[in-house]
A = this chain, B = another copy of it.
Amino acid sequence: MSAIRHALTIKREDDFAAWYQEVISAADMAEESGVRGCMVIKPWGYGIWERIQRLMDDRIKAAGVQNCYFPIFIPLKNFEREASHVEGFAKEMAVVTHHRLISDGKGGLIPDPEAKLEEPLVVRPTSETIIGDAMARWIRSWRDLPLLTNQWANVVRWEMRTRMFLRTSEFLWQEGHTAHADRTDALAETHRALEMYRACAEDDLAMPVIAGEKPENERFPGAVETWSIEAMMQDGKALQAGTSHYLGTNFAHAAGIQYQDKEGGQQFCHTTSWGVSTRLIGGIIMVHGDDDGLRVPPAIAPHQIVIIPMLREAPEDEALVAYCEELRAMLASQRALDERLRVMLDVKPGKAAAKRWDWVRKGAPLIIEVGSRDMAEGKLALLRRDQLWNADNGKPAFQFLTREDFAAQAASLLEAIQQALFNQARTRRDANITRGVTTMDEVAAHFADNQARPGWLEVQWSKPTGEALEAVTERLKAHKLTIRNVPRDGSPADGLCIFTGAPAVERILVARAY
């Protein structure tokens, strides 16, 4: 067995944070923009986001939710209305104060003092308050309910410490906002969105998640209930990958969202909001990446199959490209994962081997190489990104097969890779959730002993609130731990609370997190 020479310089086990940055750079997904806290999302990273958008948008529309677009600027007074909401966001917003620049007389530009806004505008950190205003205009009677809206937009939350895709000052997301006649209907929508996120994460992103409710101290500012999906990264940390909030009538009271019920009385609406963002791409990297770069699940790969002809800048190149183009056409008419195959024929100038490694680092699911000898035999060389290496000789595990054989099995190969990536991630996740820990000493020991990949703990608790909960979060914080959520599909409690010793009422997940 020979040593494998991986395509990245940093291994996950050596420095996970540095490995993450190397994947983003080696897969050409994004880069620092030079503007504080903002990134440039490059074609491969943005292409993955477009795929996520398309699949999530289909799910959103199938649920009867309609897309709209609301202003990027929110007047200060909107934030002043909902006290707990502004408390949660006030510290990190970009504030527009002027609407014109003028020359400073020294070749530079300054905000024009004559063009100061009477009321500053905030660049939206989220849109509950401005959409609440619209809902108050749009809703008159019970016939207008439920009102189901969504927008795809950029939002800004000023962050002091940023990390690409995971925490940036500007990010892209969708935010669903809905209004309902009563609590029951609003909670049903909160759970529908949560389940939609679970299905999209698991079926489209091949990313296993645990759906559950956040403890009260982790709720969205102004929410009555906050639910999340939590994914485990390969370093054992948790990533909150999507949230769904039941907002009660808090925002309805603040914005005056009322309706006339069937008996003619005036009622406040119950509202929800739910969102996922470009943060999901950070999750995909940390769940599926390996020491050779990214591995993109076929359902969200901009190109699922990349065909690389081994060009020699010679006359015979023409026939080789034609052979590859025939293959591309054979594949492009087929379907896998409910869509047409996405196939790219890479005829850019450059050596085939260099291009192969570029696509390995980007994580294209299937890479095909064709040389003139392959063509003469009607064959091709296939590399599965999820089975990259031949452990026996430390070389790439090429399979040689006829063009027709490959075309006949390409769709099922892609579906198999989608499933394999999910299974791999789920097996790892399940192996790294520890149950049965009953004391804080055991918790401390667990995280002291498992620095490299501590995983998550599932413990039982008595659901303390207020100051008692604060005391719990402080104790966890000492070990850099947070409560992730109360799993929706968890077993009932049958023991004592790890924090208070009182009878437990439910199980919670405790972990280090991004």
Contact = CB atoms under 8 A, between A and B. Distances in A.
A111 B94 CA distance: 9
Contacts of A156: 72
Interface string A22-45: 000000000101110011111100
Contact of A170 (B71, B109, B120, B349): B71
B123 A96 contact: yes
A67 interface: yes
A458 to B, nearest CB: 38
Nearest to A111: B95
Given A50-B67, A109-B79, A133 B95 contact: no
Nearest to A133: B34
A71 B130 contact: no
A80 B93 contact: no
Contact of A97 (B43, B86, B98): B98
Contacts of A473: none
| Copies of the chain in the assembly | 2
A260 interface: no
A47 interface: yes
A75 B38 CA distance: 12
Given A97-B95, A349-B143, A86 B109 contact: yes
Interface string A199-232: 0000000000000000000000000000000000
Contacts of A67: 43, 46-47, 50
Interface in A60-85: 66-76, 79-80
A130 B34 CA distance: 9
A71 B33 contact: yes
Kindly state the interface size class of chain A when it binds its partner: 35 or more
Interface in A75-133: 75-76, 79-80, 86, 90-103, 107-111, 120-123, 130, 133
A103 B80 CA distance: 9
Contacts of A49: 69
Contact of A107 (B80, B95, B134): B80
A69 B41 contact: yes
A73 B170 contact: yes
Contacts of A111: 95, 97, 120
A96 B38 CA distance: 14
Given A46-B67, A67-B50, A101 B73 contact: no
Given A76-B101, A80-B107, A40 B70 contact: yes
A154 interface: yes
B96 A100 contact: no
A154 B72 contact: yes
Nearest to A119: B36
Interface in A147-199: 149, 153-154, 156, 158, 170, 172
B95 A68 contact: no
Interface of A: 31, 33-35, 38-43, 46-47, 49-50, 66-76, 79-80, 86, 90-103, 107-111, 120-123, 130, 133-134, 137, 143, 149, 153-154, 156, 158, 170, 172, 349-350
13 contacts: A33-B70, A38-B72, A40-B70, A40-B71, A40-B134, A46-B66, A72-B123, A79-B101, A79-B109, A80-B107, A91-B101, A94-B99, A98-B120
